[in-house]
């Protein structure tokens, strides 16, 4: 998730509305098309060479999942979109990766956009846009690049595990979204760990100098995750409430289940958000406590030795007539007095609990 | 309530939707099944050896409460669930202890999940998930482990105290939920006590070094209790508003009563939440006040003795011609002058109210 | 308003729902029953010896107000309740003083609970629960103890002042609630005065050491008053909007008037709440300003005398060859130099506006 | 706007509902009644001697505006009210100046209360309550005292400028409210200027000691203006949405226009509110920055001269055998060393950017 | 965007409602009228000399866009407005540049006001009001001055790029609004950059003295941008939801697209708002950290040298009998002791991590 960029939503300034332009940065990826075509009994898995190979699946009776990796191949995507009769604005949204999670209903299909979140090797959150088209008997999915969270789903289709092979395309879409939402849990788990690491660091006093910068960055990260996840609740809610003929009644229960998960994730995010705001407060009290300690050391040292130095100064004066100077035991008496003062001071500071 | 864990709601990453997998940590508990079967006149209490023994109660005319302790016995729970015709997603939710309080309505039963809260011996909040199935003439309840807040309910059933033996299963469910909600009051009472202990500690200045950590933990605790309790309001509200045939009209008044209690608890929680946020502010002013006091001591000591030391330094100089040095009473006059300065300083600081 | 107590709403843990148990602390009050029975022409005022004496009023044509003081007399209240056919849950709520202001509608009567607020002699807010039953031609009221805000209402009934004798029971209920709401204004007036006293104290710098504790207590007080008053708005709103046959159309205008008053009170409370939150901020800046002043004194004293002391120290050295020491006017020249430095420092600090 | 007063909304404690009692403080004003009676062609302007003179206007066909100054003349107002058949509660509200802006609809008239805001000569906000009665062909207006914002309206009526003489009473009411709302803009403009003056003062560091008190007062002022203006939005919205026969369709557009203005004012107020909250934060950082500067001066002075003084002290010791003392150039070497240390220190502090 | 001004919404105090008065500051601009008249096949572009030249376009079948630059030419605008039968209030709103974004529906046209935002050369946000009239086959647009964000639209019309020449006036309006909304993205991108620059500056410690002033200004800027953009969401939503015959069904999809963009912009603004609020907190901790460092230097210097100076002072006393003075190696022993103390201190401070 590059920090600086506010993706302009759809086009360069002055660009014609309706242009299909990829706005992301992964323009060197290869195009990769895969297709799963299955019924209760059979399952075919294909690596497609070109988009045209996918055209036949539109009217089969079997359920088909066509997964497109590589949003920079706008021509192929337009070709595919035209075959499946997608609206030009849908095509634009697919390749413009600054979409907010949303659902748009068209006559023959549903268009769902959401964000796939995961941590990369450097512990940075990656937010990849995934778009789905749910047709009568097919699901099209579009991703920026290869590598996703759907491997378990692929396995289940291949090996006919679970219900997926017994259900239609609407259940397939559920399975895919569910896989994405499941990953949200691991993302926020890591966020939670980070917050607790900060807490521990602050409480133990072992903070780096850039702790407040790190906290600010974490705050930003949480705000971004929030933005990726929160609108999805509304999307799923609309699927659940809506009476699209593309979603069967018996599948709705499953979408309700995703909705429950999203509420759980959202609540966790909001708790984290509240926790992180109080981190700064805590850091502030830590700093103040430290300063307090510094001041105490200074005050104790100064309060003890400044008066003693004054007394020594008195008897360093060169007046001709200072009676004490002649007296033989003066020096020792003075030492005694000084030690008494010293101990008195110590006692005073101890009573004040500064020592 | 383990701190680190964000329970993934339903399955391991990639797990098939519909798998019944226990997600908690109490996997060493024994399975314990108990049943109460009663009418106005009679009451039978049974310790069941196996789930099959509970099957007959489904079609009796008497009211039955079957309580299952031990969510790790997923096979038995599935067996029971299948007999009582529960939806697979319900079974999953029962054994996945990361549920949010919720109610799901199915054709023949209501499914209610909520959190039982209590403090354990170490004054840590324990949050245990309890699920209820309300059927036409039975209530099934599922708990993670033995030990609950239902003993008083059991007594009332045995001894026919109160209305419970005169009413049906919907009232039994009310009684059980009511017992749980009653415990919320004792939980928040302890929370309130903790806040006041912190206040007292901060005001008296007798704070441990980790006070802000403790406050942060308490904040977290309140947020978690909040999360366990707040969604329950919506659940009870839906029972009250809904016209499920499983809840009789005359019982609704009782559910409204629970709703009132939940609002009371919620309001208290929100007040505590506001109080705890201002605790940090207060702690901050306390620290600043202390620093102020430290600085005053330093300033008073330094302001009094530094000028005096300077004067003593003057007459410690070795110039050959310093007229005062020869004068016989110089030393005593100087002492007099110094004492006057000293008293002047004291007066000045007293006037400034620093002393 | 005892601070520590979170009243458990209805019963001891494990208590049977439906038990009529007084949860307050004033268990030594005497039972006091008074009755007003009036028509446009006549008015009878009675001190009842026992609840049975009140039974006849149920079916008279005149309007009756029966006021019960002493919620610890649960038996008498149950007896009365049974005669007037009150639901068991209503009886429980009457004697359980932890109710939130609410209205419950039953077939033959309305049940209204609210909080009477006033300051006692020690300037502590007292919150006493008052319950009303509005029947066709009677109002029952229940208070914890004698002493209330209804004396003016009693006078008006006795002396036929205002409209009360010309109207029915619904107007009587309005009059009683109005008397309570009127007292809210004096309560928040005192709250407002307290806030301004704090402000004045903080600005004048004459703060006690426990000022932040007092602010915290005031915050708590406001939150509690808020909790007592805010739900009442909803109660009155429901009376106004509802079409209960017990409230006549022409009386509704008067309830709307109460509603307006409650909105006014609520707005004041919210303003006070906002003001009190900024009190802590202000206190903080006051502390910091003071510390600043302390530091300035220290810095001025130290900056002036430390360099001078250093110079005096120089000429206190015992080197055999220090040319200046022999020169006759050295001492006076040095004094001159020191005074110049001193004045220079003063000028510098004055320019910095520290003096 | 006196600060201390929370106006009790309608009556002294225990006062009979329905009493017409003036609650303001301007009881020495003279009663002043003026009337405008106009049609498209003619316009009569009258200074009425007594309220009875206004009675004839009730049934004329021309449009009449009767303006009453002096709310302390409750008898005259009651007389007028009775003639125009106003509800007793309306009369109470007119003379009770603690009303919240509101609209009440009665059978034959609309009752609108709002606040006229302006700054007096001492730059204090004055909030004067103005009540309007809109009847079929007349508008009654009630103000506390003479002096208002309606002069331009009077001119327009007299000179038949604009549409006012061509329209009916509903447009007249619009014109009057519009004049009041227009003044809100000048009020918030002054508020905005005040905030910017504070900002400038804080940033330039030229703050008075009571700046935080002034900020607190401004905060309070904004909260009060907010309270006077915000409810009016709802009032106008109800006029716009409602289908009162007293407001003609073609006039509604004009009320919508007022509504737009109120939204603009409200948004400005909320922005100011947010700005003022951050003023305290800014002030706090300013204080801290100053303290930082003070500390730096102290630290620099002390760090430079304390070590030097120590060295001078060393050679002021009276040991019999200190080899350096005898050496002829010791003194000058020492001076050299001290100057080197001094410059080193300067260099160090400059590197730290403290100088 | 001049800072000081709260534009009074419509008229000078006392001005007649309905007056067309320009409230902006650009009164020296020249009037510039341009017109595009196009069908699918042809396109005419005209520079109009006077408003009368635009009158014929009202009833043509082709689509016409008339763009008026120069709101100070109120006479010409009134003339134009009268020809196109605009309501007087609409004309007022067009030339009063303090409008909030809004949509008003009239019988034959829609009136839309919004704000065009861009940064000028000095990196100040400029907010220019643009009004649109959408009629059956024409769009009128009104701007304060020449120079806008529509050049790309002009090109597309001229060169028949995109859909614009194939669609009607409702699509033209969409295109124009879309161009404005697209510019919002670049504005908030710059805002985001500014926030990050502040963060970097604060973290690196290289802050100017007026950083908090700059932050405050940025806060204000964000609040203003927010105010310009947020109401527009409601405007577009109403276009989308409404069933105005002026907006064709197929165009609605495009407006929904704008709506999505506005939500994206709004979310970014709210994130920036949250980020900027925490900037002050961060700055505060930075200041405190610096003060801490200053204090440490002072404390270390004072704690090391004050005790040493005291010891030197002791042996500078002039008592006749101080045994150590006579001893030959005293001086060297003392030096040794002092160095040990010095090192001990260093060790102590290092252990405390102050060094």
What is the Cβ-side half-sphere exposure of residue E161, based on CA atoms within 13 angstroms?
Answer: 14
DSSP string, B36-104: EEE-SS-EEEEEESSGGGGGGGGG-SSEEEEEEE-TT-HHHHHHHHHHTT--HHHHHHHH-TTPPSEEE
Token pair listed for C23: 């949860």
DSSP annotation of C293 reads H
| Residue C72: partners with Cβ closer than 8 Å, 6 or more residues away | C22, C24, C26, C27, C28, C29, C95
Any idea what the Cα angle at residue A189 is, between residues A186 and A192, rounded to 5°?
Answer: 160
Predicted confidence (pLDDT) per residue in C286-329, tens digit: 888 888 999 999 999 999 999 999 999 999 999 988 988 988 89
Does D320 contact E309 at a Cβ distance shorter than 8 Å? no
- Are the C-beta atoms of residues E171 and E139 closer than 8 Å to each other? no
CB nearest C220 (choices: B153, B254, B275)? B275
> The complex's ipTM?
0.76
- Strand B63-69 relative to strand B43-48: parallel, antiparallel, unpaired? unpaired
Query: What's the mean pLDDT in C149-176?
Result: 91
SS3 content of chain E, % helix, strand, coil (to 5): 55, 15, 30
With a cut of 80, say whether residue E53 has pLDDT above it.
yes
| Residue C4: partners with Cβ closer than 8 Å, 6 or more residues away | B192, B193, B196
DSSP annotation of B114 reads E
With a cut of 70, say whether residue B283 has pLDDT above it.
yes
Give every residue of chain D whose pLDDT is below 50, as ranges. Answer: 1-11
Confidence of residue E13 (pLDDT cuts 50, 70, 90): low
With a cut of 70, say whether residue C12 has pLDDT above it.
no
CATH topology match: B15-285 vs B290-351: no
Count Cβ atoms below 10 Å from residue E132 Cβ, excluding itself.
22
Q: Which residues of D touch C174 (CB under 8 A)?
A: 17
- Are the C-beta atoms of residues B129 and B97 closer than 8 Å to each other? yes
Token pair listed for A318: 């060169």
With a cut of 70, say whether residue E272 has pLDDT above it.
yes
With a cut of 70, say whether residue E8 has pLDDT above it.
no
Does E212 contact D257 at a Cβ distance shorter than 8 Å? no
Residue C2 pLDDT:
39
Average confidence score pLDDT of chain B: 87
With tokens 């060295």, the residue in question is D311
- Are the C-beta atoms of residues D231 and D101 closer than 8 Å to each other? yes
Confidence of residue C120 (pLDDT cuts 50, 70, 90): confident
Q: Which residues of A touch E294 (CB under 8 A)?
A: none
With tokens 């917050």, the residue in question is A195
Does A321 contact B330 at a Cβ distance shorter than 8 Å? yes
Query: What's the mean pLDDT in A230-249?
Result: 89
Q: How far apart are alpha carbons C251 and C240 in whole angstroms?
A: 9
Does A312 contact E313 at a Cβ distance shorter than 8 Å? yes
With a cut of 90, say whether residue B236 has pLDDT above it.
yes
Distance from CA of E92 to the nearest CA of A (A): 31
Q: How far apart are alpha carbons E225 and E185 in whole angstroms?
A: 11
Q: How far apart are alpha carbons B81 and E9 in whole angstroms?
A: 67
Residue C305 pLDDT:
93
Interface test with C, best of B282, B314, B323, B346 (most C CBs within 10 A): B314
Distance from CA of C136 to the nearest CA of D (A): 22
Residue C3 pLDDT:
42
Say which range, A6-10, B243-247, D85-89, has the weakest mean pLDDT: A6-10
Residue A5 pLDDT:
41
Residue B53 pLDDT:
87
Q: Which residues of D touch E225 (CB under 8 A)?
A: none
Q: Smallest Cα–Cα separation from A98: which of A127, A74, A120?
A: A127
Predicted confidence (pLDDT) per residue in A144-159, tens digit: 888 788 988 999 999 8
With a cut of 80, say whether residue B49 has pLDDT above it.
yes
Q: Which residues of A touch E252 (CB under 8 A)?
A: none
Q: How far apart are alpha carbons B82 and B140 in whole angstroms?
A: 13
- Are the C-beta atoms of residues D152 and D124 closer than 8 Å to each other? no
CB nearest C299 (choices: D209, D297, D318)? D297
With tokens 């089969």, the residue in question is A60
With tokens 């703060």, the residue in question is C207
First vs last Cα of chain E: how many Å apart? 50
Residue D82 pLDDT:
92
CB nearest C302 (choices: D9, D102, D298)? D298
- Strand A138-143 relative to strand A63-69: parallel, antiparallel, unpaired? parallel
- How is chain C split into domains, by residue range? 15-285, 290-351
DSSP string, C214-245: HHHHHHHHHHHHHHHHHHHHHHHHHHHH---T
Beta strands (DSSP E) in B137-291 are 138-143
Give, in order, the Cα–Cα distances in Å from E291 to each of D289, E285, E286. Answer: 9, 10, 9
Query: What's the mean pLDDT in B306-320?
Result: 92
Residue E2 pLDDT:
39
Interface test with C, best of D294, D302, D313, D345 (most C CBs within 10 A): D294
Residue E101 pLDDT:
93
A165 touches chain E (CB under 8 A): no
Which residues sit opposite B132 in a β-bridge? B112, B141
Say which range, C133-137, E120-124, E130-134, has the weakest mean pLDDT: E120-124
With a cut of 60, say whether residue A3 has pLDDT above it.
no
With a cut of 50, say whether residue E5 has pLDDT above it.
no
Task: Give backbone dihedrals phi and psi of D3, rounded to 5 degrees, phi first.
Answer: -75, -40
Q: How far apart are alpha carbons A305 and A301 in whole angstroms?
A: 6
Q: Which residues of A touch E183 (CB under 8 A)?
A: 13
Predicted confidence (pLDDT) per residue in C34-88, tens digit: 999 999 989 999 998 888 888 888 888 899 999 999 888 889 999 999 999 999 8
Q: How far apart are alpha carbons C228 and C235 in whole angstroms?
A: 12
Residues of E numbered 180-239 whose beta carbons fall under 8 angstroms of chain D's beta carbons: which are they?
209-210, 212-213, 216, 219-220, 223-224, 227
Residue C5 pLDDT:
41
Token pair listed for A19: 């242009």
With tokens 């001005």, the residue in question is E15
Residue E313 pLDDT:
93
Does A294 contact E354 at a Cβ distance shorter than 8 Å? yes
Does A156 contact B16 at a Cβ distance shorter than 8 Å? yes
Long-range contacts of A155-162 (CB under 8 A, 24+ apart): A155/B14, A156/B16, A157/A36, A157/A38, A157/A43, A157/A45, A157/A65, A158/A43, A158/A45, A160/A43, A161/B16, A162/B16, A162/B17, A162/B18, A162/B19
CB nearest A313 (choices: E199, E278, E313)? E313
| Residue B240: partners with Cβ closer than 8 Å, 6 or more residues away | B252, B255, B256, B259
Distance from CA of B66 to the nearest CA of C (A): 20
Q: Helix C169-204 crosses helix D211-241 at what angle (to 10 degrees)?
A: 150
Q: How far apart are alpha carbons A158 and A166 in whole angstroms?
A: 13
Token pair listed for E55: 């009158």
Q: Helix D330-351 crosses helix D249-314 at what angle (to 10 degrees)?
A: 160
Interface test with A, best of E319, E325, E330, E348 (most A CBs within 10 A): E319
> pLDDT higher for A162 or D10?
A162
Does C315 contact B318 at a Cβ distance shorter than 8 Å? yes
Percent of chain B topping pLDDT 70: 95
Q: How far apart are alpha carbons D87 and D65 in whole angstroms?
A: 20
DSSP annotation of D102 reads E
CATH class of C15-285: alpha beta
Q: Scanning every residue of chain E, which has its alpha carbon at the shortest distance from the alpha carbon of A100? A: E264
Residues of E numbered 237-276 whose beta carbons fall under 8 angstroms of chain A's beta carbons: which are they?
253-254, 256-257, 260-261, 263-264, 267-268, 271, 274-275
Beta strands (DSSP E) in chain C are 32-38, 43-48, 63-69, 102-105, 110-119, 125-134, 138-143
**b/e string for D270-301 if b means 16 or more Cβ within 10 A?**
ebbbebbbbbbbbbbbbbbbbbbbbbbbbbbb
Query: What's the mean pLDDT in E278-284?
Result: 87
Q: Which residues of E touch A291 (CB under 8 A)?
A: 288, 291-292, 295
Q: Partners for B (CB, 8 Å, 3+ pairs)?
A: A, C
Average confidence score pLDDT of chain E: 87
Token pair listed for C82: 């049974």
With a cut of 70, say whether residue C203 has pLDDT above it.
yes
CATH class of D290-351: mainly alpha
CB nearest A8 (choices: E185, E296, E354)? E185
Residues of B numbered 47-66 whose beta carbons fall under 8 angstroms of chain A's beta carbons: which are they?
none
This prediction has a pTM of: 0.82
Q: Which residues of C touch B319 (CB under 8 A)?
A: 315, 324-325, 330-331, 334
> pLDDT higher for A59 or B177?
B177
Sequence-ordered alpha helix ranges (H) in D210-248: 211-241
With a cut of 70, say whether residue B271 has pLDDT above it.
yes
Q: Which residues of E touch A127 (CB under 8 A)?
A: none
């Amino acid at each position: 998730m590059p920090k600086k960029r506010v993706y302009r939503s759809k086009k360069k300034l002055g660009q014609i509305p309706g242009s299909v332009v990829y706005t992301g940065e992964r323009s060197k990826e290869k195009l990769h098309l895969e297709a799963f075509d299955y019924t209760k009994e059979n399952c075919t898995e294909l690596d497609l060479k070109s988009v045209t190979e996918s055209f036949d699946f539109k009217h089969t009776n079997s359920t088909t999942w066509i997964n497109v990796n590589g949003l920079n191949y706008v021509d192929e995507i337009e070709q595919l979109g035209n075959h499946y009769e997608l609206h030009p604005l849908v095509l634009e949204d697919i390749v413009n990766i600054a979409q907010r999670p949303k659902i748009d209903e068209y006559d023959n299909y549903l268009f769902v956009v959401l964000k796939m979140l995961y941590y990369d090797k450097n512990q940075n959150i990656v937010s990849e846009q995934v778009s789905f088209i749910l047709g009568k008997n097919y699901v099209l999915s579009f991703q920026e690049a290869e590598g996703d969270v759907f491997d378990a789903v692929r396995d289940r289709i291949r090996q006919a595990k679970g219900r997926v092979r017994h259900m239609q395309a609407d259940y397939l879409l559920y399975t895919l979204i569910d896989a994405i939402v499941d990953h949200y849990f691991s993302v926020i788990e890591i966020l939670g760990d980070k917050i607790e690491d900060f807490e521990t660091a602050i409480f133990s006093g072992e903070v780096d100098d850039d702790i407040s910068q790190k906290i600010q960055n974490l705050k930003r990260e949480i705000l971004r995750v929030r933005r990726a996840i929160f609108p999805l609740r509304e999307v799923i809610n609309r699927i659940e409430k809506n009476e699209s003929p593309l979603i069967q009644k018996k599948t709705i229960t499953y979408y309700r289940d995703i909705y429950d998960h999203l509420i759980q994730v959202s609540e966790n995010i909001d708790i984290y958000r509240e926790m992180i705001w109080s981190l700064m407060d805590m850091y502030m009290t830590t700093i103040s406590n430290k300063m307090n300690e510094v001041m105490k050391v200074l005050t104790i040292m100064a309060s003890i030795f400044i008066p003693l130095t004054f007394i020594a100064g008195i008897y360093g004066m060169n007046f001709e007539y200072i009676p004490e100077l002649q007296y033989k035991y003066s020096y020792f008496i003075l030492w005694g007095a000084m030690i008494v003062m010293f101990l008195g001071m110590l006692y005073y500071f101890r009573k004040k609990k500064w020592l």
